[in-house]
Structure 1
Amino acid sequence: MTDYKAFRIELADKIAHVQINRPEKINAMNADFWTEIIDVFRWVDETDEVRVVVLSGAGKHFSSGIDLMLLAQAGSQLGKDTGRNAEALRRTILKLQASFNAVDNCRKPVLAAIQGYCLGGAIDLISACDMRYSTVDAQFSIKEIDMGMAADVGTLQRLPRIIGDGMMRELAYTGRTVDGGEALRIGLVNRTYADQSELLDGVFGIAREIAAKSPIAIRGTKEMIRYMRDHRVDDGLNYIATWNAAMLQSADLRVAMAAHMSKQKPEFAD
């Protein structure tokens, strides 16, 4: 497994623990972060032993968002020509978007475990995850508005499907901070925990449940959920019919049914 500068990766019990590992910088997203996360999730996608991902941040905070030094560096490279500046900035933004698209497009479920700060770009990141869990005292904020810009790497596109359009607009326009309790009420997180230790215990417990299921069934379920974001119901029904015409021939179906009838725990191949 590759050694990363911005991440620490562990694989155990079919669960990949992907941890942002810059605690001394509040896990700010520097240049290494944006390039390495694509490689990390390519590895997750291609490694059959990995069935589910837990994404967390080392130290007291999940992440303070994009490293301001990175923004300053991008600004310093601008010249006098507006058109060329715009083209360069657009390429940069699309590259950053690709980093979180890698999380969203991952075939395996991704569970975010959030404590402390989850600000700006970190909201973009967790919006690309399948589920989110936090400590009660976690602090969420779409901070870009306070920096004089619109969030541009996924929050405004993905978050309305998670917390609803009206609430997303309120948070995006005001930049106000939401704690774990309110995050639970508005549906930003599925569950809250008293502290970081309980958070990780709880999230890894859910991850183990998912990892014990048929990886073929999990793959199909995630694919159908993602497909329905951009398609009509009849399109989705047609797609699942075609998909399951192949997938129902998997040995996993027979293994699951036999285990259910014998009241034993099924064991699925990677």
Structure 2
Amino acid sequence: MTKRRLLLSLHDVGPRFETEVDRLVDHVSRHVAPDHLAMLVVPNHWGAHPLIAGSPFASRLRDWSDRGVSLFAHGWYHRDDSRHAGAASRFKARHMTAGEGEFLGLDHRTALQRMTDGRALIEDISGKPVAGFVAPAWLYGAPALAALGQAGFALAEDHMKVWSPQSGATLARGPVITWASRSRARIASSLAVARLLPPLLHFAPVVRIAVHPGDAHVPSLMRSIDDALRRVRRSHAPARYGDLLTAPPTPCAY
């Protein structure tokens, strides 16, 4: 019988956060081996930190890929420059991210272009197919969702699920355990949620944990990441996102 799965991802990987990525990789490796880690790669963070083929960071990215790390395309700029027309989109852009919901307001053509360009760059560097696509801040507008299927990605995820853009099938459900470091209030609330979710998700077939570069600068968040990984590991075995495509996880017991 397939075990319940833990999926661990490290967001915003790129030259902008090289030091923080190193700290987080060292930190989580005590719980999850690199071949069960996903890295979400930003090709040109905020237009100021391009990932360049042949650069030292690109070589490190290829080395991580060779060690079994799953690489996802994670937007292009990780910056939201769109003007949002609908009230719901304006609310998400203002309150759910610090101006980083890049794919929330993009038109179809631009979304598809950035997806395919990001995929091509990462695959050229790693020499392997990307595992999938995750929009910055897990936010997608309708045009971006339509573009996902055309871009040919095997997997995509938002805050509440993982799915196949090709078939439309939902492969895992449930909230991501993650942390916010932008303010004291967000730190406090994310610590509380991270403490609450592991027991609530104990019987879930898949539990997802996501860490971000900002976490590396807040000791309380780093301790919380340790605690969450330790507790989830009691009931869930580390797995790769791609495993969701090959075999269903253990059904929920309730």
TM-score normalised to structure 1 length? 0.31
Structure with the bigger percentage of helix: 1
Bigger relative CO (Cα 8 Å, ≥ 6 apart):
2
